[in-house]
A and B are shown apart, each in its own frame.
Chain A
Amino acid sequence: GQQVMQIPQYQHVQEGEDFTTYCNSSTTLSNIQWYKQRPGGHPVFLIQLVKSGEVKKQKRLTFQFGEAKKNSSLHITATQTTDVGTYFCAVPSGTYKYIFGTGTRLKVLA
């Protein structure tokens, strides 16, 4: 069946350092979504990527969809303490449901 791997599992950075999480699928994707879950909170939708090689930016966050549409990355420039949380990718599985990656937990040290 379809598998989604997300790496790294954990990342500790000093405030101001950059951070990147990667999501890899075993199959070609029609789209990929990214969510952020703050500690003790619920996942919040960040963005959806659809096109091959697509790059989207949200302030300090840069999202990229691979050319083969089998992988994606989320890059945060100059991390802040507000970036703390777990970042999940989610990929379609069939018509009506998504599979979530295991997440990358980010800790930012002030």
Chain B
Amino acid sequence: DGGITQSPKYLFRKEGQNVTLSCEQNLNHDAMYWYRQDPGQGLRLIYYSQIVNDFQKGDIAEGYSVSREKKESFPLTVTSAQKNPTAFYLCASSFQGSNQPQHFGDGTRLSIL
């Protein structure tokens, strides 16, 4: 079954700690995206990648980093520089182009200890 897998489902971060959220897809999509969703809010774009070894900052990239070493994988690191990391993080993928629907993973809920 094709899809997007995000792990873990829940994650807790201590002060000063970096944490990495995993996102893997087997849909053969070229483009991948990371969004942040706060309670009762819409989706805000953190980073996106159209091809392997290339990625661009979205609207709220500060305090986050990504890599795209493989087509199937687009991990997101929430660094200690992100002062308010508690949120629901959603990974998505699509075929390349401006009119392609995005397929989302189940998300990771990150909380501060």
Q: With an 8 A cutoff between CB atoms, is A59 at the interface?
A: no
Report the count of interface residues on B (CB-CB < 8 A).
Answer: 25
Q: How big is chain A's contact interface, by range?
A: 20 to 34
Tell me which of A30, A42, A92 contacts B90 (CB under 8 A): A42
11 extra interface residue pairs, beta carbon distance < 8 Å, beyond A99-B45, A100-B35, A100-B44: A31-B98, A41-B106, A42-B105, A45-B101, A90-B102, A94-B98, A95-B98, A97-B45, A98-B102, A101-B42, A103-B41
Main secondary structure of the interface of A (DSSP, over half): strand
**Using Cβ atoms and an 8 Å threshold, which residues of chain B touch A102?**
41-42
Q: Are B48 and A42 in contact (CB under 8 A)?
A: no
Residue of B33, B35, B101 most packed against chain A (CB within 10 A): B101
Q: With an 8 A cutoff between CB atoms, is B27 at the interface?
A: no
